[in-house]
Structure 1
């Protein structure tokens, strides 16, 4: 078989995947950009182009600012505390302790549940008066009837973020644990011989060598945080008020509750742009740090 025939065969193998990619990824993105400058309602194919009216309306109504603020707070808390908790848990599970295999399995269990199951479980945990936390508080002599983190605007978003941290801590821990197990024991032993304390070994040896794992976990956390939808929808439906309205939740609400598909598309374009910019900058900076280590 000559080289030209081989090249044609290679292109034929790639063609189905390319068609699938163009049809189900590129084409929908282009359509979203088209709909964002129209009054399309999601049902009638006839629509009018209205320029930047949808974007201007988002600014004037305050929807864009509120949704971006909530999403960025959600993402920042999720990335910071989710990765800190996961890293600490990975260090603990990497120690020579009895039954660590069981502990590792237990740590991963929350990841196995679907978002809707987790959302309903934690809605009960947070429930005022008869919820799990309120009941525990009553059992130890504390009045827990007013405990209602999902019903207070200042705490609802953070209560939901904690649920997502709990749900994803197993995945992040496994990635950190895999990174820890690739660190050569010779480096740790050499550090101990040189008189390094456990803290110095962690700070100057283990954490720098976890750069690749940190890049993966932080990137996944940022993407998951920026596209947060499941728990605001299941646990609070965006409330109280607009306290847990994230970008993706608001897109859903515009499109399917209010039939404002054009406005939803405009907000989708904004969300898409923010995600691409933030993840792009983040990955480039983290990769540079990996190379410099």
Structure 2
């Protein structure tokens, strides 16, 4: 078989993937742009083109600002705290301790459950009066009458962020652990001979060699945070009030609850652009750091 025939054959096999890509990716995005400048309600075939009114309403009503702030807060805390805890667990479970295989398995278990299961479990854990946390607190003498983690405007979002971290900590830990096991032992021994303590070994040897693991973990947790929907939907339905409304949840609420599909499409475009810009900037910066490291 000559080269020309091989190239034609390769293009032929690429056609199904290209068709799939056009139908399920390009076409929906084009329809999203079309609906974003209409008053389409998601059901009626009659709708009007209203230009940029949907985008103006999003800015004027504060929906975009509120959802964006909650999403940024959700992402920053889950990325920062989740990776710190994951790195700490990986460092501990990389040590020569008894039963470390068991502890690694226990740490990874939450990752195996679906978000729906985790959300329902933690909803019961957080329940006022009869929840596990309030029950334990009352047993040791605390007054739990006014404790309502998911029903309090100031604690609901942070309670959900904790569940996000708990759910994904196993994946973060495993990736860091895999990176730590590739660090050459002779390099660590040389550092110890030179008088480096645990902190200097971590800062000067381990972390630079974990650059790829750091990039992977932060990228994954960044994407999870920016597209947060499942836990706000399952555990609080965006409440109390709008305290746990994220960008993706607001899109869902506008489209399927308030039947403002056109405005939801406009918010979807803005959310898509925001996520793409943030993720792109981060990946470029992290790649530069990896090269310099």
Q: TM-score range by the shorter chain?
A: over 0.9
Determine if the alignment matches structure 1 residue 231 to structure 2 residue 239. Answer: no
Aligned ranges for residues 191-230 of structure 1 at < 5 Å? 191-230=191-230
Give the match for residue 14 of structure 1: 14
Determine if the alignment matches structure 1 residue 153 to structure 2 residue 165. Answer: no
Question: Cα offset for 1:47?
Answer: 2.1
Unaligned runs of 5+ in 2: none
* Cα offsets for 1:30-77 (capped at 9, x unmatched): 111111111111122332211000011111111010000110000000
How far apart, in 1, do the equivalents of 2:145 and 2:125 lie? 13
Aligned ranges for residues 63-74 of structure 1 at < 5 Å? 63-74=63-74
Question: Cα offset for 1:276?
Answer: 0.2
Contact 1:215 1:286 in 2 (8 A): yes
Give the match for residue 128 of structure 2: 128
* Cα offsets for 1:141-181 (capped at 9, x unmatched): 11122211211111111110000000000011111111111
Question: Cα offset for 1:272?
Answer: 0.1
* Partner SS state of residue 58, structure 2: helix
How far apart, in 2, do the equivalents of 1:270 and 1:116 lie? 27
How far apart, in 1, do the equivalents of 2:220 and 2:89 lie? 18
Aligned ranges for residues 111-122 of structure 1 at < 5 Å? 111-122=111-122
Give the match for residue 267 of structure 1: 267
Aligned ranges for residues 1-293 of structure 1 at < 5 Å? 1-293=1-293
* Partner SS state of residue 151, structure 1: coil
Which stretch shifts more, 82-91 or 16-25? 16-25
Which stretch shifts more, 73-82 or 148-157? 148-157
Structure 1 outlier segments of 4+, above 3 Å: none
* Partner SS state of residue 150, structure 1: coil
Contact 1:79 1:218 in 2 (8 A): yes
The number of equivalent residue pairs is 293
* Cα offsets for 1:202-257 (capped at 9, x unmatched): 11100111000000110111111010001111111101111000000010001111
Aligned-residue CA RMSD (Å): 0.9
TM-score between both structures, scaled by the size of structure 1: 0.98
Contact 1:129 1:146 in 2 (8 A): no
* Partner SS state of residue 150, structure 2: helix
